């Protein structure tokens, strides 16, 4: 992904690399990439202006059937050679336009992220928002699931899972990771080391900047690969490529990956801690002489995140499964507080480096099921509201939150316990998102309605397998 690439550069690259097909990609509303492909001979400079038509009514959360025509317009700066296509293929991420007005489509997640960056510049507060997500995921060897009127189940398996310590494997060689002990012993206990290294190598070849990879806390192949921070839209683009690479490298090794926040009962879930910093004219704005080496602007930014945490999670934790990770009493960051070191607080200030350039805020609530374009944009808008309104985050919470007396613990607010609650908060608290027309009213209304009908109510209507264990003999 070359920032200064133009249409001529893309055509030149395609010719030099013997590209046969062009894959046009964009993000749907909930957060899955979509694509279609054309022969390379059909690619021209004019296509980067005129775009290509497609049916927007078939994309989740988008147009109605009576207004289905839309345009995809490729962004030349995102050109990346597909590392998995047998026939040489070039990937281009696209923006979505209305074919009549040629305006960017309000529900295109990439457009929302782009508008958030433009709004940041318009405030004069900063010109760049850097994001560094730590997306965790599980590498499984088998996944089966189903839901019918007469049954509902899932079955997960992994060679390194502790539940297979007694399985006949002819031979079973042991080294199964016990629950919550995956962070992070060396091989052979870490059975996914080579697979993660292969994922990282493909990412490096694709132009992603990777800082490290390691096993995570849970048994059964929980992993983390960290991308070096980048500006908001660029990072959202990179995170979509990151997921694409991880899933496909796993598949060609006969493994399967999920970014579900909580696929396992009784062990850690997968989060996506987001490191955020604002810069202006090449200088970091979050370093100062306040608490934990922060500036006043950074504290106000935290104030905004905490003030809007209840509605913000509707975008950063947008699945019903998300709230099976955000459970009080565990390591999950459910407490609406901030701290220099406390990992159960929503906001943490990493203290690894004294450099002003490294000073950042870590928003620990998000998980990797989110649509990164919309989640990053929402985080930025909440933080900016904190700066604009000088929202005081209050006193830091540096005590051990697990050992607080009940009366003191009860005073610390916590994030919503379900997606339905989060959507209710979003309905009441969203003015900070609509500034600069970043999140339009139709985006917010559609998001709330889609999530309620397609996910919250859909899950509520279905009997849970554990209910049969609890209630069948009543």
Q: For residue 179, name the pLDDT band (cuts at 50, 70, 90).
A: very high
Q: For residue 161, name the pLDDT band (cuts at 50, 70, 90).
A: very high
Q: How large is the average pLDDT for residues 256-273?
A: 95
421 assigned to active site? no
Q: For residue 265, name the pLDDT band (cuts at 50, 70, 90).
A: very high
Taking a C-beta distance cutoff of 8 angstroms, is the pair 165, 220 a contact? no
Q: For residue 276, name the pLDDT band (cuts at 50, 70, 90).
A: very high
457 assigned to active site? no
Residue 295 has pLDDT above 80, yes or no: yes
- Among candidate residues 215, 364, 425, 430, the one labeled active-site is 364
DSSP character at residue 367: -
Residue 64 has pLDDT above 70, yes or no: no
Residue 312 has pLDDT above 80, yes or no: yes
Q: For residues 28 and 141, give the distance between their C-alpha atoms in angstroms, rounded to a whole number.
A: 28
35 assigned to active site? no
Taking a C-beta distance cutoff of 8 angstroms, is the pair 443, 324 a contact? no
395 assigned to active site? no
- Among candidate residues 108, 136, 159, 297, the one labeled active-site is 136
Residue 2 has pLDDT above 70, yes or no: no
Residue 68 has pLDDT above 90, yes or no: no
> Which pLDDT value is given to residue 69?
82
Beta strand 272-280 pairing with 151-157: unpaired
Residue 200 has pLDDT above 80, yes or no: yes
Our CA angle for 308, 312, 315, nearest 5°, is: 170
Q: For residue 67, name the pLDDT band (cuts at 50, 70, 90).
A: low
- Among candidate residues 108, 224, 267, 455, the one labeled active-site is 224
* Percentage of the chain lying above the pLDDT 70 cut: 98
103 assigned to active site? no
- Among candidate residues 55, 69, 437, 441, the one labeled active-site is 55
Average pLDDT in the chain: 93
> Which pLDDT value is given to residue 62?
83
Q: For residue 446, name the pLDDT band (cuts at 50, 70, 90).
A: very high
Residue 110 has pLDDT above 90, yes or no: yes
Q: How large is the average pLDDT for residues 396-408?
A: 77
> Which pLDDT value is given to residue 16?
95
Q: For residues 342 and 369, give the distance between their C-alpha atoms in angstroms, rounded to a whole number.
A: 24
Burial call 182-199: b when 16+ CB within 10 Å, e when fewer: bebeeeebbbbbebbebb
Residue 66 has pLDDT above 60, yes or no: no
> Which pLDDT value is given to residue 353?
72
232-252 and 372-388 helices, crossing angle to 10°: 150
- Among candidate residues 25, 110, 196, 273, the one labeled active-site is 273
Beta strand 21-27 pairing with 89-97: parallel
Q: How large is the average pLDDT for residues 277-296?
A: 95
Query: Mind listing the pLDDT tens digit for each residue in 357-370?
Result: 889 999 999 999 99
> Which pLDDT value is given to residue 285?
96
Taking a C-beta distance cutoff of 8 angstroms, is the pair 155, 143 a contact? yes
* Percentage of the chain lying above the pLDDT 90 cut: 83
362 assigned to active site? yes
148 assigned to active site? no
Q: For residues 31 and 33, give the distance between their C-alpha atoms in angstroms, rounded to a whole number.
A: 7
- Among candidate residues 178, 343, 462, 464, the one labeled active-site is 343
Residue 283 has pLDDT above 60, yes or no: yes
> Does the pTM of the predicted model rise above 0.85?
yes
- Among candidate residues 134, 159, 190, 267, the one labeled active-site is 134
Residue with tokens 């021209």: 44
- Among candidate residues 362, 367, 385, 455, the one labeled active-site is 362
Helix H or strand E segment including 428:
helix 419-428
Residue 65 has pLDDT above 60, yes or no: no
> Which pLDDT value is given to residue 1?
55
Residue 302 has pLDDT above 90, yes or no: yes
Residue 160 has pLDDT above 90, yes or no: yes
């Amino acid at each position: 992904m070359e920032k200064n690439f133009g249409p001529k550069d893309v055509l030149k690259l395609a010719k030099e690399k013997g590209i046969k097909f062009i894959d046009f990609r964009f993000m749907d509303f909930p957060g899955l990439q979509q694509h279609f492909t054309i022969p390379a001979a059909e690619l021209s400079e004019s296509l980067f202006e005129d775009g290509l038509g497609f049916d927007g009514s078939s994309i989740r959360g988008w147009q109605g059937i009576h207004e289905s025509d839309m345009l995809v317009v490729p962004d030349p700066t995102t050109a990346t050679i597909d590392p998995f296509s047998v026939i040489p293929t070039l990937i281009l991420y696209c923006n979505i336009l209305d074919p009549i007005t040629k305006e960017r489509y309000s529900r295109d997640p990439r457009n929302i992220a782009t508008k958030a960056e433009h709004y940041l510049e318009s405030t004069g507060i900063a010109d760049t928002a850097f994001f560094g997500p730590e997306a965790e995921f599980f590498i499984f060897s088998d996944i089966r699931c189903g839901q019918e009127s007469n049954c509902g189940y899932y079955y997960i398996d992994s060679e390194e899972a502790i539940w297979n310590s007694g399985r006949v494997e002819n031979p079973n060689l042991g080294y199964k990771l016990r629950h919550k002990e995956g962070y992070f012993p060396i091989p052979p206990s870490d059975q996914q080391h080579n697979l993660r290294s292969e994922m990282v190598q493909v990412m490096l070849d694709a132009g992603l900047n990777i800082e490290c990879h390691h096993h995570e806390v849970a048994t059964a192949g929980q992993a983390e690969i960290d991308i070096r921070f980048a500006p908001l839209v660029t990072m959202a683009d990179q995170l979509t490529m990151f997921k694409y690479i991880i899933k496909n490298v796993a598949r060609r090794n006969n493994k399967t990956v999920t970014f579900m926040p909580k696929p396992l009962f009784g062990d850690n879930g997968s989060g996506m801690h987001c490191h955020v910093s604002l810069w202006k004219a090449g200088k970091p704005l979050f370093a100062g002489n306040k608490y934990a080496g922060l500036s006043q602007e950074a504290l106000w930014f935290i104030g905004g995140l905490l003030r809007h945490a209840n509605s913000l999670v509707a975008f950063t934790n947008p699945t019903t499964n998300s709230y099976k990770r955000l459970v009080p009493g565990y390591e999950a960051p459910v407490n609406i507080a901030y701290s220099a070191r406390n990992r159960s607080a929503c906001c943490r200030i990493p203290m690894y480096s004294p450099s002003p350039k490294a000073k950042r805020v870590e928003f620990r609530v998000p998980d990797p099921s989110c649509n990164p374009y919309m989640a990053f944009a929402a985080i930025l808008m909440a933080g900016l509201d904190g700066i604009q309104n000088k929202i005081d985050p209050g006193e830091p919470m540096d005590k051990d939150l697990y050992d607080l007396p009940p009366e003191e613990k009860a005073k610390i607010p916590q994030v919503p316990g379900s997606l339905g609650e989060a959507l209710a908060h979003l309905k009441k608290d969203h003015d900070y998102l609509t500034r600069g027309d970043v999140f339009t009213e139709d985006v917010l209304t559609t998001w709330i309605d889609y999530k309620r009908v397609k996910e919250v109510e859909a899950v509520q209507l279905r009997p849970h397998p554990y209910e049969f264990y609890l209630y069948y003999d009543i």
